[in-house]
């Protein structure tokens, strides 16, 4: 889903590009996406 949203041809491209993100940054991003998703689906 993320790869498609970013316009990457494959998930491996996304992983190659973003695998160096620090764990704290990943957690913060997940929390933001979760909040956005909750608003989008009305929860």
pLDDT tens series, the chain, 43 aa? 778 888 989 988 888 888 777 778 888 888 999 999 888 888 6
Question: For position 43, what pLDDT does the model report?
Answer: 62
Q: How many domains does the chain have?
A: 1
- CB atoms under 10 Å from CB of 8, counted, come to 16
Q: Which CB contacts under 8 angstroms, 24+ apart, belong to 32-38?
A: none
Question: For position 34, what pLDDT does the model report?
Answer: 92
Question: For position 16, what pLDDT does the model report?
Answer: 84
Determine the structural domain holding residue 26 and report its residue range: 2-41
Question: For position 27, what pLDDT does the model report?
Answer: 85
């Amino acid at each position: 889903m993320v790869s498609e949203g970013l316009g990457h041809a494959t998930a491996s491209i996304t992983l190659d590009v973003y695998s160096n993100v620090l764990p704290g940054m990943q957690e913060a991003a997940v929390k933001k996406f979760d909040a956005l998703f909750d608003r989008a689906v009305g929860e």
